[in-house]
């Protein structure tokens, strides 16, 4: 099964119930930027993963953290990345399912850059760009990648960025499982993060592909995490429609430049494929954003 994200400026009626400080629903002409999330569940079939059967696709050039040489659970052939289930035409009904249940804007009007699916070998480059411009961001970590990159988690925390749980192996259907299974997945992810940084606060949970369910929301909250959505998706994950390079970089940068407003939470990725265009785009666009907005990590207290 493939997975995707749907950027929704949702009428987040439940937000007020879900998180203190989150202001009224942000109704807008939702741009319907239906977005495919990087498909990479297959690679997350690590030992102990709740449901290896849910893993399916992995795009070419996927994160080296899940390369065959480093992760035996990774599909041996890139062809696995292009399985029919990876087609953007599949299962539109799943797009962004439940995203309206999550926080979709910051409480204080700051702009939150969020980077999902890592850590990976691209994470240090993202960290370098953020450091260059003295920007704090939020990283939504996948458990199996945390397991491979404790050092990068430590670097993220040391740099002052906020952590977010993005599930153990990016199971887009996690929220449809039993509360106990959801809890096990989220707790296992938090535990792995805490092996790297014992005291690191993990105050957010972003369901893979934004497929929040009431059960997933409830479990996340019971573990002290706020469901985290987004309201700007530059589709930097879309390596099917785009090849890494200047045009893709410009596309991402232009989207961010034109869709960021006060309170925007921007979805981006530091794993799940070649992230060079994401990195280059933020090098271009962060200085301009800083002219108009405060770029901040999501609060942890």
Which residues bind to Zn ion, rule: CB under 5 A?
A: 116-117
Nearer Cβ to Zn ion, position 117 or 238?
117
Q: Distance between CA 285 and CA 299 in Å, rounded?
A: 23
Nearer Cβ to Zn ion, position 197 or 270?
270
Nearer Cβ to Zn ion, position 10 or 38?
38
Contact 233, 7 (CB under 8 A): yes
Nearer Cβ to Zn ion, position 71 or 116?
116
Least Å distance between CB 20 and Zn ion? 26
Least Å distance between CB 24 and Zn ion? 27
Burial of 154 (0-12, 13-18, 19+ CB in 10 A): middle
Least Å distance between CB 169 and Zn ion? 11
* Pick from 235, 225, 257, 282: nearest CA to 18: 225
Nearer Cβ to Zn ion, position 123 or 134?
123
Least Å distance between CB 119 and Zn ion? 13
Q: Distance between CA 31 and CA 192 in Å, rounded?
A: 36
Alpha carbons within 13 A on the beta-carbon side of 213 = 13
Q: Nearest 5°: phi and psi at 64?
A: -60, -20
Q: Distance between CA 56 and CA 37 in Å, rounded?
A: 13
Q: Distance between CA 82 and CA 91 in Å, rounded?
A: 16
For residue 119, say if its preceding peptide bond is cis, omega within 30 degrees of 0: yes
Least Å distance between CB 116 and Zn ion? 4
Query: Which of helix, strand or coil describes residue 5?
Result: strand
Residue with CB nearest Zn ion? Answer: 116
Q: Distance between CA 210 and CA 179 in Å, rounded?
A: 17
**What six digits make up the tokens of 145?**
């990648």
Nearer Cβ to Zn ion, position 38 or 258?
38
* Pick from 268, 212, 273, 274: nearest CA to 57: 273
Least Å distance between CB 38 and Zn ion? 6
Catalytic residues: 116, 269
């Amino acid at each position: 099964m493939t997975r995707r994200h749907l950027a929704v400026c949702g009428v987040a009626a439940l937000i007020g119930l879900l998180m203190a400080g989150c202001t009224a629903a942000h109704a807008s002409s939702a741009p319907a930027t239906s977005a495919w999330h990087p498909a990479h569940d297959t690679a997350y079939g690590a030992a102990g993963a709740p449901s290896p059967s849910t893993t399916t696709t992995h795009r070419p050039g996927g994160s080296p953290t899940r390369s065959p040489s480093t992760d035996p659970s990774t599909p041996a052939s890139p062809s696995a990345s292009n399985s029919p289930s990876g087609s953007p035409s599949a299962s539109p009904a799943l797009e962004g399912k439940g995203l309206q249940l999550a926080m979709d804007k910051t409480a204080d009007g700051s702009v939150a850059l969020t980077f999902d699916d890592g850590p990976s070998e691209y994470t240090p480059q993202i960290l370098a760009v953020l450091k260059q411009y003295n920007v704090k961001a939020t990283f939504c970590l996948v458990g199996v990648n945390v397991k491979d990159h404790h050092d990068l988690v430590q670097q993220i925390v040391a740099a002052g960025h906020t952590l977010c749980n993005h599930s153990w192996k990016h199971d887009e259907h996690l929220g449809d499982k039993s509360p106990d299974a959801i809890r096990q997945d989220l707790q296992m992810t938090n535990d792995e993060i805490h092996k790297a940084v014992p005291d690191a606060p993990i105050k957010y949970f972003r369901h893979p592909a934004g497929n929040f369910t009431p059960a997933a929301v409830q479990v996340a909250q019971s573990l002290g995490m706020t469901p985290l959505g987004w309201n700007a998706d530059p589709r930097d994950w879309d390596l099917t429609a785009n090849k890494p390079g200047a045009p893709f970089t410009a596309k991402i940068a232009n989207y961010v430049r034109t869709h960021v407003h006060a309170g925007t939470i921007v979805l981006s990725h530091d794993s799940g494929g070649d992230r060079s265009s994401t990195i280059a785009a933020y090098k271009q666009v962060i200085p301009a954003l800083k002219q108009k907005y405060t770029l901040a990590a999501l609060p942890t207290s």
